[in-house]
Chains A and B, each alone.
Chain A
Amino acid sequence: MTTETPVAAPTARRATPPARKEGGVLSKRRGAVATTIMAVLALIWLFPLFWALINSFREYDYTQANGYLSFGGWTTSNYEDAWSRGNFGLHMRNSLLITIPAVLLTLWLSSMVAFVLARFSYRFNLTLLGVFLAANLLPPQALLIPVFRMFREIPLPYFMSDSGSMLNSFWALILVNTAFQMGFCTFVLSNYMKTLPHEIYESAELDGASVWRQYWQLTMPLVRPALAALATLQVTWVYNEFFWATVLIQQGDKLPVTSALNNLRGQFFTDTNLVAAGSIIVALPVLVVFFALQKQFVSGLTLGSTKG
């Protein structure tokens, strides 16, 4: 086996280029056109971000007097101001306290649902998956008033929430985010789990592994790429979540960092360069997570796709 593969590979490689030239995937000319189009699209897409980045390093007075097309007025004070005025240290911590539990809870619960849906045949399997997906398609705005009223009526002890109810507490945001993200995660994980060979479970069954053990010690390690990919996505989504935070949190010092970005706007006056600096600071953690886990993300998405 091991000696055969290196031999087989070159022949396969040699065979591929002619196939391409005959107009299979991408010819050289088409490739160039595609690259140009993609480069232009990427530039158009990145331009506002670069624009914000550049102007976040410029003084407001300078850009206001000379216009944004000018060049000069460089400073880093926007970043210092944004960090201290926006009180980002506190709000980053709030975001962390919401995002990490929410992502862990989502992955844990949805992997359990997905395991059952993928491994056991019940009559309602498909219906159940359908319900999870349908809930995922429901716009959160439609549930705003019911969720708000429900949370208002749920009492919490004062050591858990100083408002005495679910409103104004991190618990509310963790639960809401978990609920809204579970549909998607369950769908992806159950599809992924269906691709695991059935024989593994038969042997596990023969060796006397309980259902819990099949889930925790067999399935979970095997779906790690999918979990990593989902974790990346979920961190981004929950961290960026804005809607529920503004609705359910009314206490300024409990807002997550995305909502706290508004702190940089005044009642009348807005220093746009300062807001640009603040936005870059808020976007950084997501970019770091994304680039750090990029490999997992790509492999996680493609691993499942090649199999039925």
Chain B
Amino acid sequence: MSLSRSSAIPRSALTTMAASRRSVLRGMALSGLAVGGANMLAACGGDSGGPATGSGATVKFGINEAEGSGAAYDRLKAIGDAYAKESGTKVALNAVDHNTFQESISTYLQGTPDDVFTWFAGFRMAQFAENGLITDLSDQWPIDGLNDSFKQASTAPDGKQYFVPISYYPWAVFYRKSVWEKNGWTPPETNDDFMALMDEMKGKGVTPFAFGDKDGWPAMGTFDILNMRLNGFDFHMSLMAGDEQWDGDEVKLVFDTWRKLLPYHQEDPLGRTWQEAATAMGKGECGMYLLGTFVVDALGENGDDLDFFTFPELDSSIGADALDAPIDGFCVAAAGKNQEAGKAMAKWLGSAAAADAGNDAADAPFIAANSGASTSTYSDLQKKSAEVVGAAANIAQFMDRDTNADFANTVMIPSIQDFLKNPDDIDGITASIQEQASSIFG
């Protein structure tokens, strides 16, 4: 048993280099051991004996929400229960809180992972696919109701699918309907409208943008949207992939525009969490807030008095048809013991039935990926989210999902914070990012 374990799990999963010859060998070892390994496990008298799916089988389901943590957990639990009911397979739930799950994902996948686990689309999924830590699901695709853009988001650079999406949410500019009605403000269409609106807000003593970056990640959303508006979606994605220069004119333009917009933001963002910033917007001290739809969580209300618009265009030759809309979903761990059951469950998780089970269990500001999912329980915010994302031509995943995780967390978070502390040193900051980027992306 220890033998099968040692050869089935890649030894250098922590390194980011992809050795194609080794992954081929690894694939051969995996498929060769699938038969022998199952027998050996059964001989150990473990719970892995018996049928792979259907009644009597168990599939382990790792989720990134702690038990009792509210709506997000209730949704995943309901999805697991619905699958158990429908397929007869027993679902063993392993609930770990979101941050711990994310921080220990490397040890999790190399240790004794569950068969199916919650994860994100984008570069972070692709990294695990390259390292052979997650299972190829291309034989489960296409899945009814998931369109091509979701298939694209589930595909690693090798052209195979390793991911099944369930839901997503957009990043947009949120505002209080009542405050805007009182002042007669309307969502801006053009750059001129936008600037005029912000000047008027300032004139009335309202800070146009709520802003908080104490945790480091919220300001990434601002960078993403400015980059997509100023340099276009394609440049943004290749910049994230490490194929463009961080100290080039394009990125400098982003920071320079940001520097000019900073006077319209709340001051001292590094001392404020996004929750405090959201509260300031909720109280009407700030006019609007660029964030994900989870902004309603911090306001302690159902969001009836909230509305949003996509960030207006800054360059008319580029337009405003791209936005961040992170997709959540599931992967099958390569070291999971019951691969067959994992794959079968993953396929079901992409179905409309799975999305409905989650939506019926608890409200959350997310929208189902499957086009067949019922929208009857959707709030106005969710309906509008679906509309806005549906209208977008290009969808990014958010910086920390679109690029190397080490780069996002150890380079971009401190760099953006440095910029917010000292917005005039753009040359120094971009040079330092580029230097670190070239050592990470090689």
Chain A residues within 8 Å of B, Cβ to Cβ: 60-61, 64-65, 84-87, 148, 152-155, 157-158, 162-165, 167-168, 246-247, 250-253, 255, 259-260, 262-270
Contacts and interface: CB of A to CB of B under 8 A. Distances in A.
A165 B6 CA distance: 12
Nearest to B108: A250
Contact of A152 (B65, B95, B100, B110): B110
A85 B70 CA distance: 8
A251 B5 CA distance: 19
A167 B112 contact: yes
5 contacts: A250-B108, A262-B100, A265-B97, A265-B98, A270-B275
Given A65-B279, A85-B68, A268 B44 contact: no
B273 to A, nearest CB: 8
B100 A259 contact: yes
A87 B68 contact: yes
Contacts of A155: 1-2
B154 to A, nearest CB: 21
B112 A168 contact: yes
B373 to A, nearest CB: 21
B72 interface: yes
B276 interface: yes
Nearest to B71: A266
B413 interface: no
Contact of A158 (B47, B275, B283): B47
B300 interface: yes
Contact of A65 (B9, B98, B283): B283
Interface in B266-301: 273-276, 279, 283, 292, 294, 297-298, 300
A250 B111 contact: yes
B108 A263 contact: no
B44 A269 contact: no
Size class of the contact patch on chain B: 35 or more
B376 interface: no
Q: Which 10 A-B pairs have the closest CB atoms?
A: A263-B66, A269-B297, A163-B112, A252-B96, A267-B98, A85-B68, A252-B95, A268-B294, A262-B97, A167-B111
A158 B42 CA distance: 12
A60 B99 CA distance: 21
A168 B96 CA distance: 13
B206 to A, nearest CB: 18
A164 B112 contact: yes
B210 to A, nearest CB: 14
B436 interface: no
A154 B99 CA distance: 28
Given A250-B112, A268-B297, A153 B97 contact: no
Interface string B55-83: 00000001011111110100000000000
Interface string B239-267: 00000000000000000000000000000
B5 A84 contact: no
A268 B112 CA distance: 27
Contact of A251 (B46, B70, B94): B94
A247 B67 CA distance: 20
B95 A266 contact: no
A154 B1 CA distance: 10
B342 interface: no
Nearest to B100: A262
Contacts of A251: 94, 96
Contacts of B107: 148, 247, 250
B113 interface: yes
Contacts of B157: none
Given A61-B300, A153-B2, A269-B297, A252 B113 contact: no
B45 interface: yes
Contacts of A153: 2, 5-6
B20 interface: no
Contact of B98 (A152, A246, A266): A266
Nearest to B1: A155
Given A87-B68, A153-B5, A263 B97 contact: yes
Given A65-B279, A262-B97, A268-B274, A246 B111 contact: no
Contacts of B110: 148, 152
A284 to B, nearest CB: 20
A147 B107 CA distance: 12
A253 B68 CA distance: 12
B104 interface: yes
A266 B5 CA distance: 34
Nearest to B109: A250
A246 B100 contact: yes
B104 A262 contact: no
Contacts of B95: 252-253
Nearest to A86: B68
Contacts of A260: 66
